[in-house]
Amino acid sequence: METMFRRASLPACVVLSSLGLIAGSLALRAQDDDSHHGRKYKMPPPSARIEVTVVRDYNGKPIHDAHVIFHPIEGDKDKGALELKTNEDGKTIIDVIPVGDTVTLQVIAAGFQTSGAVYKVDKLNMSMEVRLKRPTEQYSTYKNSTPNSGAPGQSDPPPPNPNPSQPQPK
């Protein structure tokens, strides 16, 4: 009875294994098919490698730990800020800003004037040198050449009366 059962199940096993192989090959073929509507991968634009060197203006020596801040601008929109610090050679490198963007570069270092400039990223490799100056006297629109002008608690003298026939207010 066992041999009869084995003989009867042999064709069924062959048919089932054949169907399994056919179904498996169809599933593998479906994975290779690109005709389905899925999400398309869009290549990012090429990015530039920008090297910024920060040095002292008066002697050209590098400034360590200066803050170099990049503000990429796309059209009229600021895309955020990317901040890096300079190494002991006064250099920092960034390679994530796309070619064609405009960048506002701001450099801040302790004991120096803040520097800022706008650059157009138009090459794959760019190198910039920023020369920082020592702070100078603060500019004031209230500064005057008269000795007591603008001092706290004192006022400027009244202007001369252009028409002497009118009395001056008291």
What is residue 36's predicted lDDT score, i.e. its pLDDT? 58
- The answer to whether position 119 is within a domain reads yes
Question: In terms of residue numbers, what domain contains 117?
Answer: 47-132
Mean pLDDT of 63-86: 90
- The answer to whether position 40 is within a domain reads no
- The answer to whether position 156 is within a domain reads no
What is residue 51's predicted lDDT score, i.e. its pLDDT? 96
Integer angstrom CA distances of residue 156 from 113, 150, 161 = 33, 8, 15
Number of domains making up the chain: 1
Q: What CATH number does residue 80 fall under? A: 2.60.40.10
Please give the Cα distance from 58 to 61 (Å, whole number): 8
pLDDT tens digit string along 45-62? 899 999 999 999 999 999
Please give the Cα distance from 89 to 54 (Å, whole number): 9
Among 8-17, 32-41, 78-87, 159-168, name the one with the lowest average pLDDT. Answer: 159-168
With vertex at residue 148, the alpha carbon angle to CA 144 and CA 153, rounded to the nearest 5 degrees, is 115
- The answer to whether position 64 is within a domain reads yes
- The answer to whether position 149 is within a domain reads no
- The answer to whether position 79 is within a domain reads yes
Confidence band for 3, pLDDT divided at 50, 70 and 90: low
Q: Is the pLDDT of residue 7 over 70?
A: no
What is residue 114's predicted lDDT score, i.e. its pLDDT? 93
Contact 113, 70 (CB under 8 A): no
pLDDT tens digit string along 120-137? 999 999 999 999 999 888
- The answer to whether position 101 is within a domain reads yes
What is residue 60's predicted lDDT score, i.e. its pLDDT? 93
Reported as type and span, the H/E element at residue 26 is helix 2-32
- The answer to whether position 169 is within a domain reads no
Q: Per the structure block, which two tokens stand in for 156?
A: 């400027």
pTM of the model: 0.58
